[in-house]
């Protein structure tokens, strides 16, 4: 095991275990938990080494199968990719602790199928952050999407419909991305991102390049549920089985935003994306501001914890897209820091939701009364996650929001700054309303909301343990965000920022 | 007008791809039947596959299989060989599209078992009750 291909082990561990989970899990479900947790623990530890290596040696390129780039597929391990690898494996590991008991209850007998898809999805996400080949990115994007369709369709109620809706929307997004790649391939004759970046400035044909750029970006906008194209997300994420939602919700949109960052900076140049089309840049920041406000207002209308969280995810997508398109150091730093923070915040809130669902069998606001007495530790972690979402120091959410606001002021985009502050206020209302219900309400369900709740029981220790670990991580990342920005994110910013 | 017609005729393959893509896009967005939506998605993907494949074509070129001795003595003339890379890419894209169709058909089957219909408005009616 040499250090130059450690990152391959990070990705291979969940992929290979997916096979064994399917084969052995069929026989007895006792194999599933050790295999899944073991592979993800291995990935997390290895990802730590990959990050340490990347910070020490800088950007590294790895050629798969000894076909040298630009013909072969190139993997690029820079500090940001290594950070994303670590983030994905740690979030997946923590989410799995909650997914195991939830899936065991909701899908008894189908656990091996669930975790096969689950692990392939994680491997696909890891591949996405490493790849340096534009077409390979499309294939991995579809691997993650297909597994997500399957996982969502395993849910109850109208989950199959949501899954179908997501299939249609997701395919349009992926096809747009593929079309963009087609245009770029016809223009430059190459698929390697670095090679495209060197050839693209020499290409004649402004309209064709602009079309390619538009197709790529709109395709990714659909995949990340950026505001006017967000229609599929709330249903898909709230109807998905809780065990899948707890992993998909923190990771999918964040990885897609990272991909947008990659497309802008590795394929095109900041000069092309931001300065040559200033109108488009302004439009996107306006769309981000509207997205933040609209999604926050829609979150306010929900009476179910999980649906409320899905609208908050859409608002957060607006934060990060806007932050990247601000095109200044503060905005980019804030957006990249927010990818990390938001993944952990969403994970924290979804883990809390999973634990509550496991214990009381419902996430409707009327059923959450008196939760602080019944589940003090869970609600403590939930409160930390909520504070981070609102942006209360010293939780992580405050610092990235601070950078984003500074970036907005520096760029003079006051509408974006106003949207950020407005969204913080709405988040405060959302979560304090919820905290009030859970703190002051007495435990009886006498408000007409009576339905047969599924069987319940106290959550296993590792479910609450992973939730508490996530909450503590939020505070640690918050306090250490200075080091994170200086040590990793500053290195990841492209030249000129 | 004449310029436009020559443009259409000279690049007719790209026009066909655009028309096919719009048909597929319309079916995905406009049709109420879920199977028709899925077929629209397939047409959409096929249109993209056609665009890639036609981008690799060269007039009068032969298949990309080389005779080793011929190449060693005379070298390769790139203009005489069709570009094989788009075809290879599209093999992957076909695999992807087949897998999505498979997943979508399985999902449609479950929707039919659950709601007894594949018309979107009828399903919405049933959900509203």
Least CB–CB distance from A164: residue in B99, B104, B127: B104
CB contact A163 to B (< 8 Å): yes
Is A163 within 8 Å of B107 when comparing Cβ atoms? yes
Helix axes A134-153, A111-130, angle to 10 degrees: 160
Instruction: Report, as an integer, the average pLDDT of A221-228.
Output: 87
Tens digits of residue pLDDT in A368-397: 787 777 788 888 888 889 998 888 888 888
Instruction: Report, as an integer, the average pLDDT of A294-318.
Output: 90
- At residue A109, the 3 state secondary structure works out as coil
| pLDDT more than 70, % of chain A | 95
Write out chain A residues lying below 8 Å of B96, CB-based.
138-139, 142, 146, 174
CB contact A72 to B (< 8 Å): no
CB atoms within 10 A of CB A196: 24
Lowest mean pLDDT among A134-138, A193-197, A344-348, A415-419: A193-197
Write down all domains in chain B, each with its CATH number in brackets: 2-128 (1.10.287.3510)
> Per-residue confidence at A455, pLDDT binned at 50, 70, 90?
low
Is B111 within 8 Å of A164 when comparing Cβ atoms? yes
ipTM: 0.91
Output phi, psi for A453, to 5 deg. -85, 145
Lowest mean pLDDT among A279-293, A379-393, A440-454: A440-454
In angstroms, the Cα distances linking A1 to A4, A43, A92, A129, B38 are: 9, 14, 24, 22, 46
Q: Over 60: is that where the pLDDT of A41 sits?
A: yes
Q: A171: closest CA among B82, B55, B67, B24?
A: B24
Is A153 within 8 Å of B93 when comparing Cβ atoms? no
Q: Which two tokens stand for residue A497?
A: 């920022």
Contacts of A433 (CB under 8 A, 6+ apart): none
pLDDT at site B99: 93
Is A172 within 8 Å of B110 when comparing Cβ atoms? no
- Nearest C-alpha of chain A: how many angstroms from B62? 19
| Preferred mutation among A135, A152, A182 to probe B, highest tally of B CBs within 10 A | A182
Instruction: Report, as an integer, the average pLDDT of A19-37.
Output: 86
Q: Over 60: is that where the pLDDT of A56 sits?
A: yes
Helices (H), A131-232: 134-153, 159-188, 193-199, 206-224
- Is the pLDDT higher at B70 or at B38? B38
| Preferred mutation among A161, A191, A219 to probe B, highest tally of B CBs within 10 A | A161
Output phi, psi for A74, to 5 deg. -105, 135
> Per-residue confidence at A292, pLDDT binned at 50, 70, 90?
very high
| Preferred mutation among A120, A144, A171 to probe B, highest tally of B CBs within 10 A | A171
Instruction: Report, as an integer, the average pLDDT of B99-122.
Output: 89
Write out chain A residues lying below 8 Å of B54, CB-based.
none
- Is the pLDDT higher at A424 or at A273? A424
Instruction: Report, as an integer, the average pLDDT of A301-317.
Output: 90
Lowest mean pLDDT among A16-25, A117-126, A198-207, B45-54: A198-207
- Is the pLDDT higher at B56 or at A88? A88
pLDDT at site B8: 79
- Nearest C-alpha of chain A: how many angstroms from B73? 25
Q: Over 70: is that where the pLDDT of B22 sits?
A: yes
CA atoms A389, A393, A396, A399: torsion sign: positive
Query: With contact defined as beta carbons under 8 Å apart, do A334 and A403 qualify?
Result: yes
Q: Over 50: is that where the pLDDT of A450 sits?
A: no
pLDDT at site A176: 93
Output phi, psi for A75, to 5 deg. -105, 140
pLDDT at site A375: 80
Q: Give pTM, 2 decimals.
A: 0.91
Q: B21: closest CA among B40, B1, B2?
A: B40
Which of A 111-150 lie inside 8 A of B, CB atoms?
Answer: 135, 138-139, 142, 145-146, 149-150
CB contact B73 to A (< 8 Å): no
pLDDT at site A294: 92
Instruction: Report, as an integer, the average pLDDT of A126-142.
Output: 91
What's the whole-number average pLDDT of chain A?
A: 86
DSSP one-letter string for A220-266:
HHHHHT-GGG-TTHHHHHHHS-HHHHHHHHHHHHHHHHHHHHHIIII
């Amino acid at each position: 095991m040499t250090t130059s291909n450690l990152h391959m082990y990070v990705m291979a561990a969940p992929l290979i275990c997916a096979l064994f989970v399917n084969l052995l899990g069929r026989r007895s479900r006792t194999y599933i938990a050790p295999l899944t947790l073991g592979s993800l623990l291995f990935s997390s530890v290895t990802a730590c080494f990959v990050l340490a290596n990347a910070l020490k040696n800088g950007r590294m390129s790895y050629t798969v199968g000894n076909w040298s780039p630009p013909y072969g597929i190139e993997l690029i391990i820079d500090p940001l990719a290594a950070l994303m690898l670590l983030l994905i494996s740690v979030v997946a590991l923590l989410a799995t602790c909650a997914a195991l008991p939830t899936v065991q209850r909701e899908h008894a007998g189908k656990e091996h199928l669930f975790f096969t898809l689950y692990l392939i999805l994680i491997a696909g996400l890891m591949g996405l952050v490493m790849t340096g080949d534009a077409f390979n990115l499309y294939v991995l994007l579809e691997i993650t999407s297909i597994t997500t369709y399957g996982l969502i369709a395993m849910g109850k109620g109208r989950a199959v419909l949501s899954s179908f809706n997501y299939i249609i929307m997701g395919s349009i997004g992926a096809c747009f991305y593929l079309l963009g790649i087609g245009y770029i391939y016809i223009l430059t004759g190459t698929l390697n991102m670095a090679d495209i970046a060197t050839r693209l400035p020499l290409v004649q044909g402004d309209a064709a390049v602009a079309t390619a750029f538009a197709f790529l970006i709109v395709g990714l906008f659909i995949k990340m549920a950026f505001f006017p194209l967000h229609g599929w997300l709330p249903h898909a994420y709230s109807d998905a089985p809780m065990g899948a939602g707890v992993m998909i919700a923190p990771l999918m949109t964040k990885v897609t935003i990272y991909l947008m960052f990659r497309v802008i900076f590795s394929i095109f140049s900041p000069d092309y994306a931001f300065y040559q089309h200033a109108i488009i840049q302004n439009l996107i920041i306006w769309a981000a501001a509207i997205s933040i406000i609209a999604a926050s207002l829609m979150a306010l209308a929900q009476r179910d914890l999980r649906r409320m969280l899905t609208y908050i995810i859409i608002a957060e997508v607006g934060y990060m897209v806007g932050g990247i398109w601000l095109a200044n150091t503060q905005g980019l730093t804030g957006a990249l820091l927010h990818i990390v923070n938001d993944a952990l915040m969403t994970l924290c809130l979804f883990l809390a939701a999973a634990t509550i669902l496991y214990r009381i069998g419902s996430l409707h606001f009327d059923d959450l009364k008196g939760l602080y007495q019944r589940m003090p530790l869970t609600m403590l972690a939930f409160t930390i996650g909520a504070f981070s979402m609102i942006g209360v120091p010293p939780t992580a959410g405050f610092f990235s929001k601070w950078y984003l606001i500074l970036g907005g002021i520096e760029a003079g985009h006051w509408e974006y700054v106003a949207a950020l502050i407005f969204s913080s206020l709405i988040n405060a209302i959302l979560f304090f309303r919820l905290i009030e219900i859970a703190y002051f309400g007495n435990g009886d369900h006498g408000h007409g909301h009576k339905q047969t709740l599924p069987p319940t029981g106290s959550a296993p220790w590792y479910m609450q343990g992973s939730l508490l670990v996530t909450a503590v991580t939020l505070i640690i990342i918050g306090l250490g965000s200075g080091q994170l920005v200086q040590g990793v994110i500053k290195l990841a910013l492209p030249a000129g920022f | 007008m004449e310029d436009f017609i020559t443009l259409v005729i000279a690049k007719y393959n790209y026009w066909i791809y655009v028309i096919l893509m719009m048909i597929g896009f319309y079916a995905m967005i406009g049709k109420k039947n879920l199977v028709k939506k899925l077929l629209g998605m397939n047409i959409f993907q096929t249109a993209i596959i056609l665009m890639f494949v036609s981008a690799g074509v060269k007039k009068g070129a032969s298949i990309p299989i080389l005779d080793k001795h011929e190449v060693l003595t005379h070298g390769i003339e790139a203009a005489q060989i069709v570009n094989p890379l788009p075809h290879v890419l599209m093999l992957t894209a076909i695999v992807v599209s087949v897998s999505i169709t498979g997943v979508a058909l399985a999902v449609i089957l479950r929707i039919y078992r659950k709601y007894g219909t594949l018309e979107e408005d009828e399903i919405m009616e049933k959900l509203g009750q």
